[in-house]
Structure 1
Amino acid sequence: DISRPRGKHSLAKHLHRHAGIDGAKAALLHEVLERDVFNDAARLAAAIKALPLRLLRPRPLDEAISSAGGVRLEDLDEQLMLRKLPGVFCAGEMLDWEAPTGGYLLSASFASGRLAGAAAANWINTRQR
């Protein structure tokens, strides 16, 4: 698809239209690839499929949006209560899970908070009787 003639369109528009590459993805291509690769459709397509990206080290933890770690899921029951500490419920980023940041992380945090909150209320109500 990339080898199609681009006519008057810029390379950025061509990559967006024919490969769905724009924004940060396009910037990454320009950062990593040599300039002459962009003039050869076959080399560009091969580079996109196997982008040579060398990571040196992670960013500092204080810059993280979220980080791994937390309460292990196997330490919780199906209501998100700690098995070893009855009456203690966990939710959201307290949990050790790998989730993409943004809307998915927020949705999962809200959903687990709702579950844990309802379970905590039920747990309290059943003990007051």
Structure 2
Amino acid sequence: MSLHKLISLPFTLLNRGQLGGAGVLFFFYAVLIACIAKALFEIANFAGVKAQTGSAAVIAKRAVPAHWEWQSRGRFLTRIYVKEYEILDLIINGRTMTYRPIPWIMERTTSNTTEPVQFKAARFNNKVQIIKFKYL
């Protein structure tokens, strides 16, 4: 049994005159390749990067109001009610970011202070991944 009989490729469908099927299949393959490339980029971005210890300037302590958002639960997309929560605006190594620590750390953190932080800085873009905050 030939591989071309098992797997339909966009160009073989074009040769058979199935333009619509070839377009859908080409789009599916393009999305699949884009998702794989994005996952590999995220892995390579932080792989092998050592954790750094530094200080984070807490600019503000903000509350995000309660809202509805779409989340996937298994195979289904469901509308979920998200309760109000607090986040911190931080500056780490000149990069501004938001961070949501666990509630007991959030209670002990005030704005306009400097807190110790352990983080990873990405290789290819300006992302920062916080590993530990305030209590190292």
TM-score range, shorter chain: under 0.3
Q: Which has the higher helix share?
A: 1
Q: Which has the higher strand share?
A: 2
Instruction: Give the alignment's TM-score, normalised by structure 2.
Output: 0.23
